[in-house]
């Protein structure tokens, strides 16, 4: 939710931001907001005057009583004021609902360095790290490797659960646990508090991160309860501070969490018939920062660097790909993906995503803090995927496979797994 004061003080700035996002149909929202806000403020001024007048009349009645004067006209005058105030408040509340509805539709102000573009095709590659492997044999995709080694069974999961699920077995399942432990230790060492969150969440928390349409497309609803399965641990981590007033001494709050995640994934991407890249259920280690606005971009850089370092230690070929103006969702002020090399498809695909939502998310969730001058402010919130293990497994299997079908285990994971390689010919 954008700051109402920004629209009041500089509506042209808001319109230019909308134009940068190529959302020209939303320009009218700013004019509609400005018109309704002017009406709301006029009603508020009228109510303030009515209250002042009510206090004045009350004093006049008190003085007249002391002087034993006739107060009938004053009482008549005082009697109509409360109804006028009530009627104004009813109209103000209705307008306020309209204003709030408009605020959530107007995009957050983007960072000036966000690259211009229409879609994800215009995202900007900022850095390439590591070199794609060269094979002396025809490499296999992770599905073939997983099935031939007895690690993955998509046919059985299709029977028990449907498309978008999997049975993971043996060394691959243990490697998955090694990734979870590795990411946890990496984040704790970086100074983030480890949390294990609830796997269900209420709708009023979800509304702070998704639109209603996104909730319907993404989240699994628990029947007859106001609960949804979480799509990422970011949501309960932020939800811990829903409608809370913090103190500036508590900031920054730096959290990391492991959880299972669940997504319906209805929409353009859909679910893989077979495979681990896009599934309904997966393991994820998340990182979240709640900070003072002045430190916001420092922590954006920190989160991005943590992702890079985590995957550099795994020796995977990756690149940083920054979201352009047309691809950046409305809550985000800036965002970037780390993408990993897929040698079979010969493309880079998203493996983590970092986001700075400045104060937009905090406003939606009512998270505030008191600064050192005792002023109430909204903090900035940031999040980043430390690792989604299923996608990391895809990258490890496909990039580190050997001719005999075995897969080398990244050195950073060997102490967790106790092996240097898995699979291959018996």
Boundary-marking domain end, from 44, 75, 103: 103
- Whether residue 300 contacts residue 308, with contact meaning beta carbons closer than 8 Å, is answered with no
Q: What is the pLDDT of residue 74?
A: 80
Q: Are residues 22 and 158 in the same domain?
A: no
Inside any domain, residue 339 = yes
Inside any domain, residue 113 = no
Q: What is the pLDDT of residue 388?
A: 94
Inside any domain, residue 322 = yes
Q: How confident is the model over 323-349, as pLDDT tens digits?
A: 999 999 999 999 999 999 999 999 999
pLDDT, greater one: 288 or 71? 288
Q: Are residues 133 and 20 in the same domain?
A: no
- Domain hosting 17: range is 4-103
Q: Are residues 55 and 138 in the same domain?
A: no
For residue 252, cis peptide bond before it (omega within 30 degrees of 0)? yes
Mean pLDDT is lowest, of 75-79, 208-212, 279-283, 337-341, for 208-212
Among residues of the chain, what percentage have pLDDT more than 70?
98
pLDDT above 70: residue 268: no
How far apart, in Å, are the Cα atoms of 315 and each of 318, 358, 392? Answer: 9, 32, 11
Q: Are residues 91 and 137 in the same domain?
A: no
Per-residue buried b or exposed e for 177-215, using 16+ beta carbons within 10 Å of the residue's own CB:
ebbbbbbbebbeebebeebebeeebeeebbebbbeeeeb
Inside any domain, residue 9 = yes
**Helix or strand run (H / E) with residue 70:** none
Q: Are residues 131 and 252 in the same domain?
A: yes
Boundary-marking domain end, from 54, 71, 103: 103
Q: Are residues 98 and 240 in the same domain?
A: no
Q: Are residues 32 and 95 in the same domain?
A: yes
Number of domains observed in the structure of the chain = 2
Boundary-marking domain end, from 103, 134, 156: 103
pLDDT above 60: residue 128: yes
265 band by pLDDT with thresholds 50, 70 and 90: confident
What's 336's domain CATH number?
3.30.930.10
Q: How confident is the model over 358-375, as pLDDT tens digits?
A: 999 999 999 999 999 999
140 band by pLDDT with thresholds 50, 70 and 90: very high
- Whether residue 64 contacts residue 54, with contact meaning beta carbons closer than 8 Å, is answered with no
Inside any domain, residue 371 = yes
pLDDT above 80: residue 131: yes
DSSP state of 109: P
Kind of pairing between the strands at 347-356 and 228-229:
unpaired
Q: How confident is the model over 29-62, as pLDDT tens digits?
A: 999 999 999 999 999 999 899 888 888 888 888 8
Cβ partners under 8 Å of residue 196, min gap 6: 257, 258, 259
Strands (E) located in 186-295: 193-195, 200-201, 228-229, 245-247, 253-262, 281-291
Residue 348 three-state SS: strand
Q: Are residues 330 and 304 in the same domain?
A: yes
What does the pLDDT average to over 105-121? Answer: 94
What does the pLDDT average to over 219-225? Answer: 93
Chain-centre distance for alpha carbon 271: 21
- Report the chain's mean pLDDT, rounded to a whole number: 92
Q: Within a 13 Å sphere around the CA of 238, how many CA atoms are in the beta-carbon half?
A: 35
> Cα–Cα distance between 82 and 86 in angstroms, integer?
6
**Helix or strand run (H / E) with residue 331:** none
Q: What is the pLDDT of residue 307?
A: 95
Chain-centre distance for alpha carbon 276: 22
Q: Are residues 11 and 134 in the same domain?
A: no
> Cα–Cα distance between 5 and 31 in angstroms, integer?
15
Q: Are residues 148 and 271 in the same domain?
A: yes
Q: What is the pLDDT of residue 270?
A: 58
Q: Are residues 70 and 128 in the same domain?
A: no
Q: What is the pLDDT of residue 81?
A: 87
Inside any domain, residue 184 = yes
Q: How confident is the model over 293-308, as pLDDT tens digits?
A: 999 999 999 999 999 9
Residue 226 three-state SS: coil
Q: What is the pLDDT of residue 133?
A: 95
What's 85's domain CATH number?
1.10.287.40
Tokens of 130: 């590591």
Among residues of the chain, what percentage have pLDDT more than 90?
80
Inside any domain, residue 110 = no
What does the pLDDT average to over 20-35? Answer: 95
272 band by pLDDT with thresholds 50, 70 and 90: low
Kind of pairing between the strands at 368-370 and 245-247:
parallel
Inside any domain, residue 111 = no
Q: Are residues 35 and 166 in the same domain?
A: no
pLDDT above 80: residue 71: no
Q: What is the pLDDT of residue 310?
A: 96
Cβ partners under 8 Å of residue 375, min gap 6: none
Q: What is the pLDDT of residue 426?
A: 55
Nearest to 179 by CA among 351, 13, 329: 351
What does the pLDDT average to over 4-25? Answer: 94
Q: What is the pLDDT of residue 408?
A: 97
């Amino acid at each position: 939710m954008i700051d109402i004061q920004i629209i009041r003080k500089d509506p042209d700035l808001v319109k230019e931001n909308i134009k940068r996002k190529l959302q020209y149909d939303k320009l009218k929202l700013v004019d509609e907001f400005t018109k309704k806000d002017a009406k709301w403020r006029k009603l508020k001024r009228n109510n303030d005057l009515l209250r002042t007048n009510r206090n004045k009349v009350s004093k006049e009645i008190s003085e007249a009583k002391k002087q034993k004067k006739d107060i009938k006209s004053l009482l008549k005058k005082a009697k109509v004021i409360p109804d006028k105030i009530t009627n104004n408040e009813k109209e103000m509340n209705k307008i306020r609902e309209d204003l709030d509805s408009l605020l959530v539709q107007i995009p957050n102000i983007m960072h000036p360095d966000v690259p211009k573009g229409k879609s994800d095709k215009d995202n900007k590659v900022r850095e390439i790290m590591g070199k794609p492997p060269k094979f002396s044999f025809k490499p296999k995709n992770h599905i073939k490797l997983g099935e031939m080694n007895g690690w993955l069974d998509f046919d059985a999961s299709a029977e028990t659960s449907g498309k978008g699920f999997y049975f993971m077995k043996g060394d691959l399942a243990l490697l998955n646990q090694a990734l979870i432990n590795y990411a946890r230790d990496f984040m704790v060492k970086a100074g983030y508090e480890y949390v294990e969150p609830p796997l269900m969440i209420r709708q009023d928390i979800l509304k702070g991160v998704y639109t209603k349409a996104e909730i319907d497309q993404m989240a699994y609803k628990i029947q007859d309860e106001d609960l949804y399965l979480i799509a990422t641990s970011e949501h309960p981590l932020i939800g811990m501070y829903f409608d809370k007033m913090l103190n500036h001494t508590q900031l920054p709050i730096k959290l990391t969490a492991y959880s299972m995640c669940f997504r319906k994934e209805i929409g353009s991407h859909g679910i893989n018939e077979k495979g681990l890249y896009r599934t309904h259920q997966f393991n994820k280690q998340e990182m979240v920062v709640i900070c003072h606005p002045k430190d916001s971009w420092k922590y954006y850089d920190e989160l991005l660097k943590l992702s890079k370092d985590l995957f550099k230690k795994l020796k995977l070929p990756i690149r940083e790909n920054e979201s352009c103006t047309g691809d950046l969702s409305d809550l985000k002020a800036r965002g970037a993906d780390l993408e990993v090399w897929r040698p079979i498809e010969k493309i880079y695909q998203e493996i983590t995503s970092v986001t700075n939502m400045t104060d937009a998310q905090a406003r939606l969730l009512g998270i505030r803090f008191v600064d050192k001058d005792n002023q109430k402010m909204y903090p900035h919130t940031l999040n980043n995927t430390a690792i989604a293990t299923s996608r990391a497994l895809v990258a490890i299997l496909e990039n580190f496979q050997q001719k005999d079908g075995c897969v080398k285990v990244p050195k950073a994971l060997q102490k967790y797994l106790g092996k240097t390689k898995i699979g291959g010919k018996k």
